[in-house]
Structure 1
């Protein structure tokens, strides 16, 4: 019996030892490498963040058969969709592709739509066909087909962004135009719990491998676009009706709405090479720093500057509130997590730090860290990855494995 077969048997008879990447690394620090490696069978990993390559393939009923030949133009909750490729002649339904980066307005885009579909909310459909307009209202779970894909996701390590030009730059990497002269930085990536940081050769992320996509079961398609030896990534897909809205949604940026996606994976400890990959820590992971004005790398930092000793949660201090009207923190929050009273809705909060950066009264606090650059320590003003949700989807993968619901 091979080590992998042994692990699968232990999962079947409920005797497997499964830990999350964070638990594994903590136990290594506390108890030593040899004991932990001997005891552990599977390590789960996770990431959550802005993933622009997310899109959905949907089949949407619109009208009775024979109502129109084929759709020319379609929008869901105002978000433009691409009809086809199948014309579905005279069937009264449309097949669609919707990009996570498409948007109906500056505050609602494809990511928001995907969350609404997954939440089974009512979706308003507008179709133009043969110069006639058709409308329908459908609930997300009533769609005959709703599948989420990524063209690329879970990059091994992401790039931090600064702006060395003199003028602010609107970009998907910032909630407000990114200040010039390297006065601030934005970052992405969940560091040492990221699936590919722990499996850099994609040994357990081959086509057909099970994983979690937004909390629901999904599969690896293969390597994603822009993958490279230094920065591999994967393309995935999953059924939207099985997903959990807590792991996805829209994220507002100064260049328009973006899409949040979460992915959870499992790594069986079958040999020393696997174990070596799991030893990675935040301090070991380089974070290239790019100048957004020309998309050229200008420096390099590391993920311990983002996640070691920094805030895992943003806190609200009502006594510090200056009662600004309008409240910039509430207005600019990229996930609409701040209520009218100033309180933080932690079910929506992404711990991005936008409110910390914007609030003049320091009503919102949380150490976001700094990047050590030639210019000096540059403050991080935005995190476009949510380590807490990365931890959460890792924990969910662990629980599903122990229940026999996630195959290794």
Structure 2
């Protein structure tokens, strides 16, 4: 080991630490080699800005007088989960509007200037972070402790107690490339896929993405601070669908979806530039999240992993025209080819496009570097490692389809 996190923290306090973005490191390695760079750099910053629909916000409203035990709740017509404490809510990023009348929908459309069908929990989260007003309507379960039956008010970020993001699955370590070999356009979580291999869409920003640069999860763990939505968040646990046992190349990068993270952070400190509700036509809502992770360069091996380039990492080309959990693929393609704007599939040229914003991903890595050097972003030891032995368990072995009357 070249250095410890404690030594890095000491160098940061003395203003002697060297912090590079991951792209800067890759350039330095190409010029000087891994061994020399490992002697120089202390921290490498990574970033991504991409759809992360398994996200949401925990909100505590504070008690009313008389008190209410909320059992149904709507924020600008979008339902929040209420099966918690009396005034605790969880607002999922993909929650969709549940207006009780067309008049209410029309009123909100006029106020918000957007189609109510395209507004989601992600947009509510974005607006609260931005300090905007949100209309709350709540129905209560009446009891001796909570005699109030209903409640209506206007909320802002500053009029609620706690408002933090609790995101069960963020920052996929690689993902897929979506294509459509069928005869009609398909509307998917990757956006529209045009028929007869009309386009190919990928989600991950490639070699600058956080977990590609720590493929074996040796530099981060539970408790690691991260740039989350413009504020400081933390890795709380493995993410849902965490699958570190995915097949890997010789450089240890996975060939498809692998590790994921559960991230938590105070939304009152975030910036709506980095937390944005979005809508995919004829599919549904999602949330664009900005996440950056600092990686301490503790060894030559850590530097070597961060030196990977887009041509060194691959993703599977998946055909969405087959409506099954396991879809056929057209093999693997590297990210350099994807970022070139076109790939070859069975001899045909197919145009490509990213869902992730690569310029914003770079901007996050740069912002994180600046914050670390300024002493406004902490570097810390994980309190526990992330699991590396999780398998993926599908449900089709356990049940069957049923018909609704």
Partner of 1:346: none
Instruction: Tell me, yes or no, if the aligned pair for 1:165 and 1:180 is still in contact at 8 Å.
Output: yes
1:389 paired to 2:360: yes
CA contact (8 A) 1:106 1:257 kept: no
Q: Which residue of 2 aligns with 1:3?
A: 3
Helix, strand or coil at the partner of 1:25:
helix
TM-score, with length taken from structure 2 = 0.79
Deviations 1:7-59 (A, max 9, x none): 22111100101000111112323444444332211101111100011111111
C-alpha deviation, 1:2, in angstroms = 6.9
Q: Secondary structure at the match of 2:152?
A: strand
Structure 1 position 160 matched with structure 2 position 177? yes
Contact 1:182-1:375 at 8 Å conserved across structures: no
Aligned to 2:20: 19
Deviation at 1:179, TM superposition (A): 2.0
**SS of equivalent to 1:167:** coil
Matched, 1:305 2:337: yes
Deviations 1:195-227, CA, capped at 9 Å, x for gaps? 100001112221111111112111101211111
Q: Which runs of 5+ in 2 are unaligned?
A: 98-115, 143-148, 247-257, 380-405
Instruction: Give the drift of 1:178.
Output: 2.5
More displaced stretch, 124-133 vs 256-265: 124-133
What is the CA–CA distance in structure 2 between the aligned matches of 1:268 and 1:98, rounded to whole Å? Answer: 34
RMSD value over aligned CA atoms? Answer: 2.0
Residues 1:97 and 2:90 aligned together: yes
Contact 2:122 2:287 in 1 (8 A): yes
- Equivalent-residue separation in structure 2 for 1:54 and 1:375 (angstroms): 39
Q: Name the counterpart of 1:273.
A: 301
**In the alignment, is residue 71 of structure 1 matched against residue 74 of structure 2?**
no
Residue 53 of structure 1 corresponds to: 54
Q: Which has the higher contact order (CA 8 A, sep 6+)?
A: 2
> Contact 2:38/2:300 (CA < 8 Å) preserved in 1?
no
SS in structure 1 of the partner of residue 57 of structure 2: strand
Measure, in 2, the Cα distance between the counterparts of 1:250 and 1:59: 21
- TM-score by structure 1 length? 0.78
Q: Deviations 1:145-195 (Å, cap 9, x if unpaired)?
A: 111022111111111111122222222221xx4322221121101111111
Which SS does the other structure have where 1:151 is aligned?
strand
Deviates more, 1:37-46 or 1:122-131: 122-131
Deviation of 1:302 (Å): 1.5
Are 1:187 and 1:383, in contact at CA under 8 Å, matched by a contact in 2? yes
> Which residue of 216, 224, 230 corresponds with 1:201?
216
> Residues of 1 paired with 2:11 and 2:160: CA distance?
39
- Residue equivalent to 1:374: 346
Aligned-partner Cα distance in 2 for 1:248–1:194:
17
- Look up the match of 1:244: 271
Report SS of the residue matched to 1:124.
strand
Q: 1:32 to 1:203 in 2, by over 3 A?
A: closer
| Aligned residues of 1:118 and 1:141 also touching (Cα < 8 A) | no
Q: Aligned equivalents of 2:238 and 2:349: distance in 1?
A: 35
- Distance in 2 (CA, whole Å) between partners of 1:210 and 1:8 is 13
Q: Could you tell me how far 1:398 is from its partner in structure 2?
A: 0.9
Contact 2:220 2:295 in 1 (8 A): no
Distance (whole Å) between structure 2 residues aligned to residue 391 and residue 144 of structure 1: 33
**Cα deviation 1:363-388 (Å, max 9, x = unaligned):** xxxxxx123322522112x4221111
Alpha carbons of structure 1 residues 277 and 65: separation in structure 2 relative to 1, 3 Å: same
Query: Could you tell me how far apart the structure 1 residues matched to 2:53 and 2:91 are?
Result: 12
Is the CA contact (8 Å cut-off) linking 1:123 and 1:140 kept in structure 2?
no
Q: Which residue of 2 aligns with 1:363?
A: none
Could you tell me whether the CA contact under 8 Å between 1:269 and 1:275 is conserved in 2?
yes
CA distance in 2, matches of 1:167, 1:240: 41
Aligned to 2:84: 85
1:406 aligned to 2:377?
Answer: yes
Alpha-carbon distance in 1 for matches of 2:217, 2:158: 33
Distance 2:343 2:200 in 1: 8
Q: Which residue of 2 aligns with 1:219?
A: 234
Q: State the match for 2:121 in structure 1.
A: 110
Secondary structure at the aligned position of 2:232 is classed as: strand
The alignment of Structure 1 onto Structure 2 pairs a total of residues equal to: 337
Match status 1:259 vs 2:287: yes
Q: Is the 8 A contact 1:108 1:257 kept in 2?
A: yes
Distance in 2 (CA, whole Å) between partners of 1:160 and 1:245 is 28
Contact 2:71 2:83 in 1 (8 A): no
Counterpart-to-counterpart distance in 2, 1:121 and 1:179? 37
Unaligned runs of 5+ in 1: 89-93, 309-368
Offset, 1:237: 0.7
